[in-house]
Amino acid sequence: MRDMKEKLARRNVIELWASKYSEVVRWLTKLQKKEDSALRLYHFCQWAKMTPTELLALKEKDPSAMAAEKLLDDFCGADLADFTNATKYNTAIAVKSFFKHNYRDLAKASGVVTYQKATPYNALSKEGLRKLWSLALNPRDRALIPFVTSTGIAKETLVNLLWGHLEPDWETKDLPCINIGSELLKGHGRGKYQNVRQITFLTPEAKRDLVVYRDWIQDKIGRNLTLQDHVWLLTSKPYTPLSYQMLGNQVNILSHKAKVPFSLHDGRRWINTALEQIGLSINWAKKIRGRKVRGEDAPYSQPAIEQLRAKFREAVPLLEFTSEKPATDLEKRARISEEIMSKLMAGEALSEDNRRDIRLYDIRLRESSKRRSTVCADGNHCQRIVSEEELARFLSEGWKVVSTLPSGKIVIDS
């Protein structure tokens, strides 16, 4: 391959290199992170001393020889000063994607790189997030921090998020729901990602700041935003949607200014930690984060959004950070209450520690849970513990949800 007169980088790799190859153009039309992927393929081609066309030809000459797979394996196994382990990992993903979308799939076993994170994830705290939020330059950036730490929406989805994804009259809801279809999520609804949806919610402080930002940007634009408008816009003319790169840059600028390490992906880890602390089941957490739930064809039909919203409410004290109000034991009280409920429903005796916690946290137990045998004369109409999969049938029969146990099982009552 001939050397480029101008040094190739993310900003110009498509114009100066990728656009010259129809195979690469075809591939990039199917991707969201076009610049990053194009640059990784370019670096691989430079290492292999081959053009993209020549790479694809390796699969045509003698597919059984696995020449393309072996070439990728050689790259992943080589000791390359210019490629860290993480860079080789991402490059291998791009190369396999390039072959796949040109209908010459590489064997799954090829290009394996054991990716180990060299540095630990950012250790977030409420104090650090509050500092980020307080130093934001405008209402948009100030709204963005509680928004991502409340919803867990990924960066590639944020740039395409529309006001229409928020539930009707969301300003009047205590915990507004955001309902996102699979086309904006990982996998874009193809293959195993078909029917995936993200059902997530805004905390009260995230809603408050989103309302302030919306009113502020509407005043600047001079019109009301419609359901078809993007949520995150430039704050000056022409007020176009923020790009993937620009959204990341804004967060990086704020992070450096506040001297608080933070990325948008940290927001997903923040909410996931909170959901784990309240004992949310793995499947319910996946629904909130917009991930595929194994074994479900339509994973967001049940449990009802209202049941998911009720469970999310328990995480609010853990998620909110903009106020310096003293921390409460609400989340601990909820967990202990559910643990005791679980023991009672299972017919187990309460320990002295359980009885101490009942007094300490003023836990009010339902009479029916303490006297299950006496209020369930017919064996049908009483409280029950059911699985998430069984919930839809019982709701249709008139049962009501009482609470969700730490195990993910659900207490229902007739």
Which tens digits make up the pLDDT trace of 75-104? 988 888 788 887 888 899 999 999 999 999
The verdict on 178 and 299 lying in the same domain is yes
3-class state of residue 375 by DSSP: helix
Query: What distances in angstroms separate CA 174 from CA 136, 147, 177, 267, 301, one per listed residue?
Result: 25, 14, 9, 21, 22
d(CA 199, CA 201): 7
The verdict on 258 and 385 lying in the same domain is no
Residue % of the chain over a pLDDT of 70: 76
Residue % of the chain over a pLDDT of 90: 38
Mean pLDDT, residues 202-206 taken together: 94
Q: Is the pLDDT of residue 126 over 50?
A: yes
The verdict on 19 and 80 lying in the same domain is yes
Report yes or no: 311 and 288 within 8 Å, Cβ to Cβ: no
The verdict on 194 and 293 lying in the same domain is yes
pTM, rounded to two decimals:
0.56
Provide the domain count of the chain: 3
Residue 4 lies in a domain: no
pLDDT at res. 264: 85
Helices within 78-194 (DSSP H only): 85-101, 126-134, 139-151, 155-158
Residue 373 lies in a domain: yes
Q: Which residue has the higher pLDDT, 353 or 175?
A: 175
Q: Is the pLDDT of residue 326 over 50?
A: no
pLDDT at res. 412: 78
The verdict on 338 and 239 lying in the same domain is no
Residue 20 lies in a domain: yes
Which tens digits make up the pLDDT trace of 373-392? 334 544 455 677 777 677 77
